[in-house]
Amino acid sequence: MVEYRCGNCKKKVDLNVESIGLQCPYCGSKIFYKERPPIAKRVKAR
């Protein structure tokens, strides 16, 4: 699952790129940043 943050209103939006394309439902902006979920990557240390 990929979340985006609107580059204009800074709201987090769920975008279905395949159906509606990239457009903010709140302000209509088409500038988005890909929001990475805060997953702590495990680093193999040994």
Residues that bind Zn ion (CB under 5 A): 6, 8-9, 24, 26-27, 29
| In the complex, least distance from residue 19 CB atom to Zn ion, rounded to whole angstroms | 18
Cα dihedral 23→29→30→32 (10° resolution): -100
| In the complex, least distance from residue 12 CB atom to Zn ion, rounded to whole angstroms | 10
CB closer to Zn ion out of 12 and 42: 12
CB closer to Zn ion out of 26 and 33: 26
